Amino acid sequence: MDANTKPVILTGDRPTGPLHLGHFVGSLQNRVRFQDDYRQFILVADAQALTDNMGRYGKVHDNVLEVMLDYLAVGIDPAKSTIFIQSQVPELTELTFFYLNLVTVSRLERNPTIKEEIRLRGFERDIPAGFLTYPVSQAADITAFKATHVPVGEDQIPMIEQTNEVVRRFNASVEQEILVECKAVVPEVGRLPGIDGSAKMSKSLGNALNLSATADEVSRAVKMMYTDPDHLRVSDPGKVEGNVVFTYLDAFEPDTAMVADLKAQYQRGGLGDMKVKRVLEDRLQAMLEPIRTRRAAFASDPAEVMLILKRGTEAARAVAAQTLDEVKRAMGLVYFD
């Protein structure tokens, strides 16, 4: 299939820190698979990161390279996927400006994803305007590339619904089918919990295991993982529900029969936490070692990595510029050819 006839998929990350196992199981593995079947655009969302990191410019700037290194290390191929920096594609900002006229403040405030993010950050009514309107920016990111598929977690589905509302309103306003609606692609494996047992793995919560973690850091993290607090003796029956070690084994161990056997032993008693943790550590070390090795090789030449990113950004900008031109022509905003 020719690259231009493939369905288009858009995905990406905010560069607020190195990527971790939660990103790996939730999106990075899929992106490696997607790049053969889709025309894939991967966004490094540095501008969006500033919606709640204003003033921490160095953090966002430095992590663009860190995120790019993680992408390359896991096997995302820039010859197959277009990786680009959001802030370096000004067409996205211009599309956002136009789309803001299609969305009301009350609609943005009703967006369940935004409501939850506002609650988590304690913004209440003191909400940065950029944060409140980032669903519109996201709509610009998606529609600029006429993405037909967007991988998201369950909690992000309202963002895709709002993007499609923008698409329908714009097309209706110009009485043409210029923009394309998209479909949410929800990964089979849900959100990975933190090593402390909390619902979400997060750098800010200090419960994440980075893809770039050393062997010693992996070992320490596994030893700290939350299990069954009532499993006090090896002979005690244990619970696998909510047990982070088994959750990670389900996510990363391909030998499902072996995992099922471990669960059965653990539940009836006679299997200690440390033995299960050793099994998980062996799996994670084997999985992460080649990623660490590739990452170190790419990190030895940061200029070349940034050149790859520059080329991807230039290619992405050409596509976004074409969409912007179609949008402006449909609105009658092209005066000089």
Residue 187 has pLDDT above 90, yes or no: no
CB atoms within 10 A of CB 274: 11
Q: Cα torsion at 206, 208, 211, 215 (round to 10°)?
A: 80
> Is pLDDT of 199 > 90?
no
Token pair recorded at residue 276 = 């299960």
Torsion angle defined by CA atoms of residues 164, 117, 12 and 50, in that order, rounded to the nearest 10 degrees: 110
Mean pLDDT of 121-141: 85
Domains within the chain, CATH numbers bracketed:
3-192+302-331 (3.40.50.620), 215-296 (1.10.240.10)
List, for residues 132-158, the tens digit of each pLDDT value. Answer: 898 999 999 999 999 999 998 888 899
The most confident of the ranges 25-39, 68-82, 113-127, 195-209 is 68-82
For residues 1-6, average pLDDT? 70
Residue 246 CA to residue 298 CA, distance in Å, equals: 33
In this model, does residue 121 exceed pLDDT 80? no
Q: Would you state the pLDDT for residue 189?
A: 64
- pLDDT at residue 1 greater than cutoff 60: no
* Confidence check: pLDDT of 18 > 90: no
CA-angle at 70, arms to 41 and 292, nearest 5°: 150
d(C-alpha 167, C-alpha 142), whole Å: 10
Would you state the pLDDT for residue 2? Answer: 60
- pLDDT tier at 190 (50, 70, 90 boundaries)? low
Per residue in 210-255, pLDDT (tens digit) is 999 999 999 999 999 999 999 999 999 999 999 999 999 999 999 9
Bridge partner residues of 210 (DSSP): 20
